[in-house]
Amino acid sequence: MIVWAMACLAISACTSPSPAPSVATYTNPLLPAGADPWVVYRDGMYYYIHTTGNDLTIRKTRRMVDLALAEPVTVWTPPASGPYSHGIWAPELHFLDGAWYLYFAADAGENESHRLWVLENPSPDPTVGTWTMKGKLADPSDRWAIDGTVFEHAGRRYLGWSGWEGETNGTQHLYLALMENPWTLAGWRVRIASPTYPWETVGDLTDAGDGLTHVDVNEGPQFLHRVGDGGGQVFIVYSASGCWTDAYTLGLLAADAGSDLLDPASWIKYPQPVFTSGPGAHAAGHNSFFTSPDGSENWILYHANPEPGLGCGGQRSPRMQRFTWNADGTPRFGQAAPPGEELPGPAGE
């Protein structure tokens, strides 16, 4: 043993084994507050945004486990008045056709005027450069709209959102429309889902104490496709029931990947929620999805309240956890992880 050790000192190629790399861990929540969380991964960086209500602020980080350390950068502040001056809700950040786009809902000071709006930034980094208002994103009906999301499938680009059928406060349905470009729709909207099951209609006409009339809700649509499954199905995961209730949860729509996504008959709604709240994670919902940097894992990012009965207020906080897939190809989300539980972070971070 002594001879071997002395030989190792004399021969540079003789080294002891390197320790295995440590796996980054995290605990939920990721931030003290932040509703409607959204993240996109590009060029080795995560870009994260959530609802603040009065501006658009992005955090940039190499690791989602370090989100709390990322500096918030306010990239856009609304004007004091006008059609997009108030109620800045559910922003999403997308890189499309060589530029960054921010989609968000806003109004002129009254809920009935909520519409979707689009900002553009040609900078490679969305936290720098100039954001230019491209305008309102609406179909010819121009109805109340929130929670806009953009996705591409089979060579076509779609906008999904939650909206009213008429001009006054009513049931929130889910709609799809084709996009002509990142700031223009190509035609009329198509309604693909409405709240029908009992777990989707909790809070109907409930007085939430905010001066609004509340009704049945389907909102926060998010597109999901299992990469590498040979086609199969595509999904839209959405939030159901009033956010002012503890029944707020996630539902699932499924369609054949080769079907016409603008045909409502293509979509099947699952009869039960697919994601449930847990201890310290109440009213879990309004999610987005991302994959780990090495592409091997699927992750859900969502908000939840630390205690029951907190409603849609400022205590909703962003949380994340890995999810897997069932044998039939549907996503298996399970239950919201409790706060403070140490979990392994995304693979490749």
Q: Residue 5 — very low, low, confident or very high, per pLDDT cuts 50/70/90?
A: very low
Better-scored residue on pLDDT, 230 or 186: 186
Full domain range(s) for residue 195: 24-42+137-344
Asked if 219 is an active-site residue, the reply is: yes
Q: Tell me, yes or no, whether 282 lies in a domain.
A: yes
Q: Is the pLDDT of residue 180 over 90?
A: yes
Residue 230 — very low, low, confident or very high, per pLDDT cuts 50/70/90?
low
Mean pLDDT of the chain: 92
Mention every residue, 6+ apart, whose C-beta is less than 8 A from residue 321.
28, 299, 300, 334, 336, 337, 343
The answer to whether 92 and 102 have CB atoms below 8 angstroms apart is yes
- Based on the structure, what is the number of domains in the chain? 1
pLDDT (tens digit, 9 = 90+) per residue, 125-148? 999 999 999 999 999 999 999 999
Half-sphere exposure of 118 (CA within 13 A, CB side): 22
Residue 127: inside a domain, yes or no?
no
CATH code of 187's domain: 2.115.10.20
Is 51 domain-assigned? Answer: no
Cα 56 to Cα 91, 129, 344, distances in angstroms: 7, 14, 30
Q: What is the per-residue pLDDT for 168?
A: 85
**107 tagged catalytic:** no
Which tens digit of pLDDT belongs to each residue from 85-122? 999 999 999 999 999 999 999 999 999 999 999 999 99
Q: Which pLDDT score is estimated for 22?
A: 63
| Closest alpha carbon to 312 in 164, 208, 201, 195 | 208
Q: Which pLDDT tens digit goes with each residue over 274-326?
A: 999 999 999 999 999 999 999 999 999 999 999 999 999 889 999 999 999 99
In degrees and rounded to multiples of 5, residue 51 shows phi and psi of -70, 125
What pLDDT score was predicted for residue 65?
A: 98
| Catalytic-labelled residue, pool 139, 216, 219, 349 | 219
Q: What pLDDT, on a 0 to 100 scale, did the predictor assign at position 170?
A: 83
In a domain, 100, yes or no: no
| pLDDT, position 27 | 98
Tell me, yes or no, whether 69 lies in a domain.
Answer: no
pLDDT of residue 160: 98
Q: What pLDDT shows up at residue 121?
A: 98
Reported as a single tens digit per residue, the pLDDT across 147-159 is 999 999 999 999 9
- The CA distance from 50 to 92, in Å, is 8
**pLDDT of res. 203:** 85
pLDDT band with cut points at 50, 70 and 90 for residue 205: low
Stretch among 36-45, 86-95, 197-206 having the lowest mean pLDDT: 197-206
Q: What is the mean pLDDT of residues 240-264?
A: 97
pLDDT at 2 over 70: no
Per the residue annotation, which of 36, 107, 200, 216 is the catalytic one? Answer: 36
Within-domain flag for 16 = no
- Identity of the highest mean pLDDT range in 3-17, 21-35, 316-330: 316-330
Position 272 in a domain: yes
- Is 204 a member of any domain? yes
Tell how far CA 27 is from the center of its chain: 19
Give the closest residue to 264 by CA, choosing from 335, 185, 196, 317.
196
Q: At residue 181, what are phi and psi to the nearest 5 degrees?
A: -155, 180
Supply φ then ψ for residue 266, to 5 degrees: -75, -20
- Whether residue 78 has pLDDT greater than 70: yes
E-only strand ranges, 77-142: 86-96, 99-107, 115-121, 132-136
Cα 91 from Cα 52, distance rounded (Å): 9
